[in-house]
Structure formats: C-alpha cells, structure tokens
Amino acid sequence: MPVFTQPVPRDLRAKLFELNWAFVLLIVLTGCIGILMLYSVAGGAWDPWAIRHATRFGAGFLVMLVVAMVPPRMWMSLAYPAYLGALFLLIMVELFGATAMGAQRWIDIGPLRMQPSELMKIALVLALARYYHDLPPEKVSTPGGMIVPVLAIALPFGLIAKQPDLGTAVLTGATGAVMVFLAGLSWKIIVPGMVAGVVGGVAFLRYGLEEYQRARVLTFLNPENDPLGAGYHIMQSKIALGSGGLTGKGYMQGTQSHLNFLPEKQTDFIFTMLGEEFGFVGGIAVLVLYALILGHCLMTAMACRSVFLRLVTMGVTTTFALYVFINAAMVMGLVPVVGVPLPMISYGGSVMFTVLIGLGLILGAHIHRAAEPPKGAGLFG
C-alpha cells in the first residue's frame, strides 16, 4: 500500500504541498453558496447575514488550515482535557445558561457567547478516537472496554437533550455510536444493542420528550392536521421546494421565502430557499457537492494508518453527514423539525467554527495519514 510508505510531512511547505486542495476547493465552494443564499435572504443585501457569514467563513477557513497543520499527537494530548472541559461547560449551561427561545444553549463568557454543545461534538470525537487508539482491539467488546465509551456518549447526550436541543443530542449520540461501531464492536453486542435502542427510543418518544417536541414529532407524522400550528413550517417548506420545480423561481425570486411564508429561512430552512430559487437542479447540485466532500472524507479515513486519525476522520464525517442529512430530510418533511443547520450554508457562528475545525482535522488527517502516533497509556497516560 503505497500510502503507508510515504513519509509524514514535517515542515509547513511539505504540509501545504500535501494539503488536499480539491477538498479545500469544495469547502470554499460550499461557503460561497452560503454567502450567495444569505445575500438573497436579505432581499439582495449584504447586511445583516451575508457579510457576517463571509467574515466568519473567512476566519473559520484560516482556523481550519491551522488545525490541519497541527500534528495529530497534539490533538491526542488535548482530547481528554477538551472532553472534560466541554462536559464541564455543558453542566454550567444546565446550571446557569442563558435561555433563548425556551432552550438553554448558550453560556456567556465575558463578551463571548458560546454553545458548549458545539464544542462537545469535536471533543467527543477526539476523546473516543483517543480511547480506541489506546485500547487493544480485542478489548473493544469487553464490558470493561465498553463502559467508558458508553458513559462518554451518554453524559453529553443527556445534557444536550435536556437543554433541550434534540437535534444536536441525536447528532452527538449517533456520531459516538458510529465511532464505536467503526472501532470494531462485535456484532454480538451491536444487534441486541440496536434492539434495545429501538425499544428505548420508542419509550423516550413516549415519555421523555418535552410537550413541544412531542408535538413536533406527531405533527411531522401528519403535518396537514395542523396547517397553522406546528405543521405550518413543514407545509410551507414543502410548498417552497415543490413550487421551485426543475429550475426554480430564479435567484432572489423565491416568493415563499421572500414573503415570509417560510420560517427561519436564514438558518434551518436555507436549503428550502435554495430549492425554491434554483429548483431541483440547484438542490441536487448542493447535495452532490456535499456528497463529494463526504467522499473525500471517506477516502481520507481509509487512507489513514492510525486508529486515532481514522476514527477522528470518520467521527467528523459522520457528524457532517448527519448535519446535511437531517437538515435536508427535515425541510423535505422526511424527519421531524429538530433544528439542525446546513453546514457552511446556514447562518450561525458556532456551527460554522465546529464544522470548519472538524474539516481541519480531516485535512490534517490527510496530511498526516502515514503517521502512526504511539499508543498512550490508556485513559490517563
């Protein structure tokens, strides 16, 4: 396998040379689509969304490149402290967090307002990757090897779900689960686990949801029952998409979005607006763009030599794919409205940085794919 024979680049020039530029190009393209759409949302104005989106994307892009240059060893050493810090912040949010729109999601640190759940997405991926990197493969399916990952996933899932932010919680939990699966968990555990998960999930839907969340789920199952209430968003989104047709109503010509029939069009429903203005052609083009990014991610993961980089890459990839899938499926009425943005296109600061840092990790994994960091001394080594 030639990839493994290749040396690990050490200096900046070599690293830049190894940077997956095609991948970078796809990322830039996606960010530009975001700017284009946010310009349209404001009715053809940079203010208030497009300009800030562009600024954040630019800043996040630089952060991404820096992250890509950092040697994986450094991420490994940061993995556990980062996870514990993120968990601490989530608890702080639970205790003191600012409430916005009925959900505690933010914590104010001086002038900064941050969403610890975003930080947790990265931290969990790093921590699980580090854990499995250190864990001998034969121990993956033993009770002792399973207790830590289960707790590491369950704690943030519970805290985020309680905020309540079901979308992010599901995203975090699912990412963790995929990583455990990829780490080599035995099918003998996976199959009963999935059965238990389904039963637990149904029970959770029944008894564990806030009233508004249950309403969303029920409405999702039958949106026409409540066209002016909870089903309104889904109906209007489908109308916007459907009326877009093959080629759309034209840039900045989306009537559903510009006449405010479409809710939250600069964030969760931006794909709807894109579909209304550019039609099936535009929607498919964006999905293909994401698919290309994800394909690069998968190839990177398989090219990596170390367990850590493989799992980091796949963790980030899973999160990214889930973002895209849940968002698109949500606006098309395939899954309930849970409030998940479309990466790099939706307006929103925290998510933008999470995504770009994550992509930075994948770019870094590509650069350092031949590296094989030594196994550490378990959890506290």
Q: How far is the CB of 49 from another protein (least distance, A)?
A: 19
Q: Which long-range contacts (CB under 8 A, 24 or more apart) does 155-159 make?
A: 155/87, 156/86, 156/87, 156/90, 156/117, 156/120, 156/124, 159/87, 159/90, 159/91, 159/93, 159/94
Q: How far is the CB of 181 from another protein (least distance, A)?
A: 6
Nearer to another protein, 50 or 322 (CB): 322
Q: How far is the CB of 240 from another protein (least distance, A)?
A: 7
For binding to another protein (CB under 8 A), which residues are involved?
A: 137, 178, 181-182, 184, 236, 238-246, 255-256, 259-261, 275, 279-280, 283-284, 287, 290-291, 294, 298, 301-302, 307, 310, 314, 318, 321, 325, 328-329, 332-334
How many Cβ atoms sit within 10 Å of the Cβ of residue 96? Answer: 10
Q: How far is the CB of 242 from another protein (least distance, A)?
A: 2
The verdict on whether omega for the bond into residue 81 sits within 30 degrees of 0, i.e. cis, is no
> Token pair of 232, please?
């309104």
| CA–CA gap between residue 182 and residue 333 (Å, rounded) | 30
Q: How far is the CB of 266 from another protein (least distance, A)?
A: 15
How many Cβ atoms sit within 10 Å of the Cβ of residue 379? Answer: 12
| CA–CA gap between residue 315 and residue 129 (Å, rounded) | 8
Letter string b/e over residues 27-53, b meaning 16 or more CB atoms within 10 A of that residue's CB: beebbebbbbbbbbbeeeeeeebbebb
Q: How far is the CB of 90 from another protein (least distance, A)?
A: 27
How many Cβ atoms sit within 10 Å of the Cβ of residue 178? Answer: 19
State whether residue 107 is helix, strand or coil.
strand
How many Cβ atoms sit within 10 Å of the Cβ of residue 252? Answer: 17
Nearer to another protein, 109 or 194 (CB): 194
Nearer to another protein, 55 or 186 (CB): 186
Nearer to another protein, 61 or 308 (CB): 308
Q: How far is the CB of 267 from another protein (least distance, A)?
A: 17
Q: How far is the CB of 144 from another protein (least distance, A)?
A: 19
- Closest C-alpha to 303, from 359, 373, 368: 368
Nearer to another protein, 115 or 272 (CB): 272
Nearer to another protein, 218 or 294 (CB): 294
| CA–CA gap between residue 190 and residue 188 (Å, rounded) | 6
Whether residue 153 contacts residue 124, with contact meaning beta carbons closer than 8 Å, is answered with yes
Cα atoms in the 13 Å half-sphere on the side-chain side of 166 = 20
**DSSP state at residue 379:** G
Nearer to another protein, 74 or 334 (CB): 334
Nearer to another protein, 245 or 381 (CB): 245
Q: How far is the CB of 44 from another protein (least distance, A)?
A: 15
State whether residue 262 is helix, strand or coil.
coil
Nearer to another protein, 68 or 301 (CB): 301
